[in-house]
Amino acid sequence: MRVRPITIGLMMGWLSAQTPPPLVTISQIQTPQNLATGNDSSVLHGQYVRVRGVVATECAWHRHFGVSGGPTSKRCSIWLLDTNPPYRGLQIRRQNVSNLPSGFTELVQGQFVEIRGTVGYFQGEIQLNVDTNFSPLILNIGVPLPPSTEIELDDINFPNGSHNMLSGEQWQGSFVKVRNLTVTGVQTNPLRISVVDANGNQGLIFGEFKGLSNNYPVGTRLDSVKGIVLHFRPSSGTPMYEICPWADSLMFVGNPVPSVSNLRRNPVCPNATASVTVQVDVAGSSSDPITEVKLYWSTGASTTYTSIVMSQVASTSTYQATLPAQPQGTYVHYFVVAKDQSGDTVKFPRFEPQSYRVNNDGCRITDIQYVIPSVLYAYNPSGRRDYLGSGYNRLDVANVPGVVTASENDLGYIHIQQPGASEWAGIWVVTTSQMPNLQIGDSVVVTSAVVDEYFGLTRLRDAQVSRIGPASAPISPTLLPLNLVYGDTQYAATEPYESMLVRFRHSNTSQRLTVVQRQVSTQSPHQGDYRVGMDASDPLKGIRVLAGRQTSNIFSSLKVSYVNDSSWATTDGLIDPLIPLCVVYDPTTQLDSLQGILTYQWNFIKLLPRYSPDLFNVTGSSCDLSSSMLTDNALPMWVGPNPTSGLLRLDAPVELGPVKVSLYTLQGQRLIEETFTTSREWDLSTLPAGTYLLKANTDRLLGFWRVIKL
């Protein structure tokens, strides 16, 4: 007998209501199973418990709160503290998509609360996954936080910064203080401030909370830092214990270093006859004024820099210098170093040199995207993805021509490409207003825009776009070998093709490609990813493909039939109901080739097909037309009057039993959802005029209608 999931949930809620789970301490939850063998999960892992503690951090402070819609965020954590160390702090994590449990996101610092949940573990961190059926029980208010416990960096990490679980695990989730640190590096997206203590031990201050800013340039001396200890064990890379202040007020700065910002140039896109004026804003303190600002510059792949002393503009905080004109095509890269009276120096930018490429034709996509990875890695040897950004970042550009390779009518997002260029030629364009009339193959000019880096992806933001007309020739996809993206992270190799229209096929043209992984990851940002490759026994030798999901930070097409799960039909956007819904399988789904926009999302290289024809000759997918979205009338239900100015009546044969109905906007926003039998009336008079989509389904049948509201 089949039991509906909702019935199970209600039954579990009823049972748990009758038998409260055991009350345990934070220390009991944080006690690891066996550190000697590397097992740092809780001895209570998987158990359903109650726990009490003082609220130390609030949901609204958490870096992930609001990334998916404020209180409905999929991720929201608070930290509870107990009074006595060690093992006295605990992360309480909420992962659901609705604002449950009631009252959780409203908890404030200083409340003493009791919370129910299941003990879990994620990337090194023991946590309590909150039970969404039970609101927090507030036992007291205005309770002072337990004071921070002073520790040393080598109490939690080895000198090289990697975690020392035997001594560090006891401080996981606790509120601690570390003294006498110096900032050695700053990274963003997310914020990571590398520090070292007087003995050379390395550590990391992490921006787990929104209240921590990046106003701590390299060289900043911190008298002390207070924060929550977070354990981070990535699938690859260095595991470590991180200190997470929830506000800048927990960062106690000693002798300040120069403040450097707003590096800019004029002109932004110089030609071969133009010298370039570089300006930067630099400020010191009254007791430690600025004594020198230098501009360092070089050309091509050289990392031998020439220095120029920058002059102060009148009595302002602006300093400037002039770079000489360079021949057509020259790549120029530069940075500044500011020095104060006490000898502290700051290099800016922190991550990579600012740069430009001389072009007599003006601003071009190939120049905005162009970087020399060897230069950037030499500039900062750690060579993370952060160091592959545009040298035009944060600068205004004008009159950038291109041909549309993706539009709002297919991929859902605008991409343009420079004709005739085989590398560095594509870019994502975010316009100030929608452009539904723009089509693939249109020739356009971006008359104005700001270049920025969206989590490592270069784009033209706040763009004004003018359509010229059909291009003389459409953009042909660039054929790439699949080993270019082996392991998803070949950033230097794939950077020249970022946002370009590309195509993949088997290296042996007589063979077909295969879906080598139906679901690459269960992590929320990657749940829709499937991988297409050449060898099912080596799934990393392939490209991640994403379709059917559109959220505030996950971008893919709703015009592509081929997805890795049928749930994407109405989850994270509404897939076009006029196309079949096809689920791919490994290794039975095969295809001749595939194409789309090469992008970078959530730390991985991915391909975004624009519509179903971007996947050529697909076989072996599940396209069950009885349950697909191909037809509008698979379910015999009357909907009318349609069009309507107010009431909409739904009539279904009694033999169908309960019918679940949902009304969506064309952008996939669900407005109404309920279940009825036989008949139902909706009052749509308050809805704006336009076209809506009505979905109706029973256990066996599915139907879609376009509803027009007058």
Where residue 67 falls among pLDDT bands split at 50, 70, 90? low
CB 702 within 8 A of CB 685: no
Please state, in angstroms and as integers, the Cα–Cα distance from residue 403 to each residue in 64, 355, 470, 608, following that order. 36, 25, 9, 18
Q: 219: left (phi > 0), else alpha (psi -120 to 50), else beta? A: left
CATH 2.60.40.10-classified regions of the chain: 259-362
pLDDT at 69: 52
CA 700 to chain centre: 37
490 pLDDT higher than 80: no
What percent of the chain clears pLDDT 70, i.e. is strictly above it? 92
pLDDT, average across residues 197-204: 90
**Cis omega (within 30 of 0) for bond into 525:** no
For residues 290 and 282, what is the distance between their CA atoms, to the nearest angstrom? 8
* Residue 510, C-beta contacts closer than 8 angstroms, at least 6 positions apart: none
Q: How buried is 552 (Cβ within 10 angstroms: 0-12 exposed, 13-18 middle, 19+ buried)?
A: exposed
Among the ranges given (100-114, 376-390, 609-623), the one the predictor scored with the smallest mean pLDDT: 376-390
pLDDT, average across residues 20-45: 91
Mean pLDDT over each residue of the chain, to the nearest integer = 88
Backbone angles phi, psi at 464, to 5 degrees: -105, 120
Q: By C-alpha distance, which of 501, 465, 504, 497 is closest to 482?
A: 504
CATH of domain 149-253: 2.40.50.140
Q: CATH topology for 638-709?
A: Immunoglobulin-like (2.60.40)
For residues 595 and 613, what is the distance between their CA atoms, to the nearest angstrom? 9
* pLDDT tens figures, 597-648: 999 988 889 999 999 889 998 999 887 333 333 344 457 777 888 888 888 9
pTM greater than 0.75: no
- Of 222 and 5, the one with more pLDDT: 222
CATH 2.60.40.3080-classified regions of the chain: 638-709
For residues 390 and 454, what is the distance between their CA atoms, to the nearest angstrom? 11
* pLDDT tens figures, 201-224: 999 999 999 999 988 988 888 989
Check whether domain 259-362 has CATH 3.10.129.10, yes or no: no
* pLDDT tens figures, 524-555: 889 999 999 999 888 888 999 999 999 988 99
- Of 701 and 33, the one with more pLDDT: 33
Largest CA distance in the chain: 86
pLDDT at 434: 92
pLDDT, average across residues 686-709: 84
Q: By C-alpha distance, which of 645, 639, 710 is closest to 683?
A: 645
Q: By C-alpha distance, which of 248, 259, 323 is closest to 285?
A: 259
| Alpha helices, DSSP H, located in 158-222 | 165-168
What percent of the chain clears pLDDT 90, i.e. is strictly above it? 59
CATH of domain 5-140: 2.40.50.140
* Length of the chain in terms of residues written: 710
Backbone angles phi, psi at 193, to 5 degrees: -110, 110
Tokens of 301: 């792949």
CATH 2.40.50.140-classified regions of the chain: 5-140, 149-253
* pLDDT tens figures, 130-179: 998 999 999 999 999 988 999 999 999 998 889 999 999 999 999 999 99
- Of 619 and 280, the one with more pLDDT: 280
Q: By C-alpha distance, which of 527, 511, 508 is closest to 519?
A: 527
Backbone angles phi, psi at 352, to 5 degrees: -165, 155
Cα angle for residues 674, 676, 680 (degrees, 5° grid): 95
How many Cα atoms occupy the beta-carbon half-sphere of 2 within 13 Å? 2
* Residue 314, C-beta contacts closer than 8 angstroms, at least 6 positions apart: none
Backbone angles phi, psi at 11, to 5 degrees: -65, -45
* pLDDT tens figures, 430-485: 999 999 989 999 999 999 999 998 888 999 999 999 999 988 888 999 999 998 88
For residue 638, the SS3 value is: strand
423 pLDDT higher than 70: yes
Where residue 703 falls among pLDDT bands split at 50, 70, 90? confident
Where residue 68 falls among pLDDT bands split at 50, 70, 90? low
pLDDT at 7: 37
493 pLDDT higher than 90: no
Among the ranges given (81-85, 297-301, 530-534, 596-600), the one the predictor scored with the smallest mean pLDDT: 81-85
Tokens of 77: 């954590």
